[in-house]
A and B are shown apart, each in its own frame.
Chain A
Amino acid sequence: MTPTAEQTTVDLSVDLGRGLELANPIMVASGTFGYGIEYGDVIDVEQLGAICSKGTTLRPRIGNPPPRVTETPAGMLNSIGLQNPGVDAVLEKYATRWAGWRVPVIVNVAGESVEDYTEVARRLDGQPGVAGIELNISCPNVGAGGLQFALDAGAAGEVTAAVRRATELPVMVKLSPAATDVRGIARAIADAGADAISAVNTLPGMAIDRHRRRPLLGNVYGGLSGPALKPVALRVVYEVAQTVKLPIVAIGGVGSLDDVLDFLYAGARAVQVGTAVFADPQLPVRLVDSLANWCAEQGYASHLEVVGAALPSKRDKPSVKGVEYRP
Chain B
Amino acid sequence: MKLLRAELVDSREFLPGQWLQRYSAPWLAAGVQAGQFVHVRTPDYSGLVLRRPFSINTFDRSTGEITIHFRVTGVGTTWLARMQTGEFAEMLGPLGQGFERDPRTRHVLLVAGGLGMAGVRSMADEALAAGCEVAVLFGAASAAEVYPSGLLPDEVEYVVSTDDGSFGHAGRVTDLVERFEAWADQCFACGPQPMLAAMARLAAGRAGRLGVARLGARRGRTTRNAPLGSRQARRRAWLQVSMEQNMGCAVGACLGCVVMGVEGPQRVCREGPVFAAEEIAWEGWR
Report which A residues bind B (CB closer than 8 A): 31-34, 38-42, 54, 62-63, 65-71, 73-76, 78, 80, 83, 218, 226-227, 275-282
Chain B neighbourhood of A74, CB < 8 A: 47, 49
Contact, CB under 8 Å: B48 / A71:
yes
Which residue on B lies nearest to A85, using beta carbons?
B264
A-B contact count (CB 8 A): 108
- Is B258 interfacial (CB-CB < 8 Å)? yes
Most chain B CB neighbours (cut-off 10 Å) among A39, A69, A73, A282: A69
Report which B residues bind A (CB closer than 8 A): 1-3, 41, 45, 47-51, 75-76, 92, 245-260, 264-265, 270, 284-286
Chain A neighbourhood of B270, CB < 8 A: 38
A31, A40, A63, A279: the one within 8 Å of B49 (CB): A279
CB within 8 Å for A279 and B251 given contacts A66-B245, A67-B246: no
Label chain B's interface by main secondary structure. loop
Chain B neighbourhood of A69, CB < 8 A: 50, 246-248, 254, 256-257
Contact, CB under 8 Å: A279 / B285:
no
Chain A neighbourhood of B51, CB < 8 A: 278-279
B245, B246, B251, B286: the one within 8 Å of A39 (CB): B251
Q: State A42–B48 Cα separation when bound (angstroms).
A: 21
Chain B neighbourhood of A226, CB < 8 A: 49
Which residue on A lies nearest to B50, using beta carbons?
A71
A67, A76, A282: the one within 8 Å of B3 (CB): A282
Contact, CB under 8 Å: B255 / A54:
yes
Contact, CB under 8 Å: B260 / A65:
yes
CB within 8 Å for A278 and B248 given contacts A38-B253, A65-B285: yes
CB within 8 Å for A281 and B92 given contacts A39-B251, A41-B1, A75-B49: yes
Chain A neighbourhood of B2, CB < 8 A: 41-42
Chain A neighbourhood of B284, CB < 8 A: 65
Chain A neighbourhood of B248, CB < 8 A: 32, 69, 76, 78, 278
Q: State A280–B91 Cα separation when bound (angstroms).
A: 10
Chain A neighbourhood of B258, CB < 8 A: 63, 66, 68, 83
Chain B neighbourhood of A218, CB < 8 A: 285
B48, B76, B92, B254: the one within 8 Å of A32 (CB): B254
Contact, CB under 8 Å: A40 / B251:
yes
A68, A71, A275, A276: the one within 8 Å of B255 (CB): A68
Q: List 25 A-B contacts (CB under 8 A).
A: A32-B249, A34-B252, A38-B249, A38-B252, A39-B253, A41-B2, A42-B1, A42-B3, A54-B255, A63-B265, A65-B260, A65-B285, A66-B245, A66-B257, A66-B285, A67-B246, A68-B255, A68-B257, A69-B247, A69-B248, A78-B248, A226-B49, A275-B49, A278-B51, A281-B92
